[in-house]
């Protein structure tokens, strides 16, 4: 299988501090790579780099066959559509002055989709994230956290991305809502074949959604591989610490 998103030897320094140290991974089409590690381990920095919001000091990121950091302007404009972000707090990402329909239509217009198709496409997008057309005229402040996150997902898929980068996308939600939004991600993946780069500090979330897992500790990959294999038989002591922390959290 060819990867849709891959990184090789990513290094990132902030002054004397090494935030990422030779990080490599490969994400296949329609699969989910879970990126887990405690606060400060470099997860969001890696997410920013693979979205080209920040440049690494060394290493290569490839989107499909293209080197993300040596693209032409035109390729880059396309790339911005091919890889989409779902952030932790969707209400920061959604424009507070736009209704749901306006936010979604904005994405459709940017792709040159004719305006007569927008209304139907918006309803379709909402259905994809299990919301009814009733939400078309809602403003972000009228949405619950879970609903706003669904809109952020709908906005991402409006661009027909190959990859969605989700950075702590369910971390601010209640457990039950968290499970529903994770199911929505999983459905999208099987329906649309989109790949997920799913960042979370929560191993239970990663376990639920990921095919493969990348465990970061202080900017280094300490373990990677198929989720079941890694979590059932962690080779690295740090992964065991994360697993123990999860088990004790469950006991509370
Ligand atoms: N722009 C920056 N300038 C300086 N240091 C930074 C910058 N961005 C991140 N860092 C540092 O790099 C390290 C990794 O940060 P990062 O945000 O990637 O961690 P994270 O794993 O996403 O943590 P969290 O789970 O808290 O979101 C941290 O020590 C952080 O302080
Ligand atoms: Mg982070």
Provide the token pair at 119. 């209304």
* pLDDT for residue 252 is more than 60: no
Give pLDDT, residue 92. Answer: 77
* pLDDT for residue 80 is more than 70: yes
Asked if residue 12 has its Cβ within 6 Å of ligand 1, the reply is no
* 3-251: CATH superfamily: P-loop containing nucleotide triphosphate hydrolases (3.40.50.300)
Give pLDDT, residue 1. Answer: 59
Residue 33 burial class via C-beta count within 10 angstroms: exposed 0-12, middle 13-18, buried 19 and up: buried
Give pLDDT, residue 131. Answer: 96
Banded model confidence at residue 249, pLDDT cuts 50, 70, 90: low
Asked if residue 44 has its Cβ within 6 Å of ligand 1, the reply is yes
Mean model confidence pLDDT for the chain: 93
81: part of which helix (H) or strand (E)? helix 73-82
* pLDDT for residue 28 is more than 60: yes
Asked if residue 115 has its Cβ within 6 Å of ligand 1, the reply is no
**Ligand 1: which residue has its CA nearest to atom 6?**
14
* pLDDT for residue 250 is more than 70: no
Mean pLDDT along residues 20-35: 97
pLDDT digits (tens, 9 = 90+) for 163-220: 999 999 999 899 889 999 999 999 999 899 999 999 999 999 999 999 999 999 999 9
Query: DSSP secondary-structure letter at 158?
Result: T
Mean pLDDT along residues 129-157: 95
* Other beta carbons less than 10 A from residue 35's beta carbon: 30
pLDDT digits (tens, 9 = 90+) for 44-76: 999 999 999 999 999 999 999 999 999 999 999
Query: For the chain, what are the domain ranges?
Result: 3-251
Asked if residue 88 has its Cβ within 6 Å of ligand 1, the reply is no
> Do residues 47 and 199 touch, judged by C-beta distance below 8 A?
yes
Give pLDDT, residue 251. Answer: 59
Give pLDDT, residue 90. Answer: 81
Give pLDDT, residue 242. Answer: 86
Distance 39 CA to ligand 1 centre (A): 8
Alpha-carbon distance of 206 to 209, in angstroms, equals 5
- Partners of 111 in beta bridges: none
pLDDT digits (tens, 9 = 90+) for 121-139: 999 999 999 999 999 999 9
């Amino acid at each position: 299988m060819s990867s849709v998103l891959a990184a090789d030897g990513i290094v990132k320094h902030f002054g004397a501090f090494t935030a990422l140290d030779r990080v490599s991974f490969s994400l296949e089409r329609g699969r989910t790579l879970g990126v887990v590690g405690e606060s400060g381990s470099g997860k969001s920095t890696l997410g920013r780099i693979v979205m080209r919001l920040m440049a690494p000091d060394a290493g290569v990121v490839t989107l499909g066959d293209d080197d993300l950091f040596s693209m032409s302007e035109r390729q880059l404009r396309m790339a911005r559509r091919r890889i989409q972000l779902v952030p932790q707090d969707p209400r920061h990402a959604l424009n507070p002055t736009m209704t749901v329909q306006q936010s979604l239509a904005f994405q459709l217009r940017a792709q040159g989709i004719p305006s007569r198709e927008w209304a139907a496409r918006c309803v379709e997008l909402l259905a994809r994230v299990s919301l009814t057309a009733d939400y078309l005229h809602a403003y972000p402040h009228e949405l619950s956290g879970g609903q706003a996150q669904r809109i952020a997902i709908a906005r991402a898929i409006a661009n027909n991305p190959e990859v969605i980068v989700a950075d702590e996308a369910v971390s601010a939600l209640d457990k039950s809502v968290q499970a529903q939004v994770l199911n929505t991600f999983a459905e999208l993946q099987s329906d649309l074949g989109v790949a997920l780069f799913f960042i979370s500090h929560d191993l239970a979330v990663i376990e639920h959604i990921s095919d493969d897992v990348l465990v970061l500790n202080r900017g280094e990959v300490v373990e990677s591989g198929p989720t079941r294999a890694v979590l059932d038989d962690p080779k690295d002591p740090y992964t065991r610490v994360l697993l123990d922390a999860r088990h004790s959290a469950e006991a509370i």
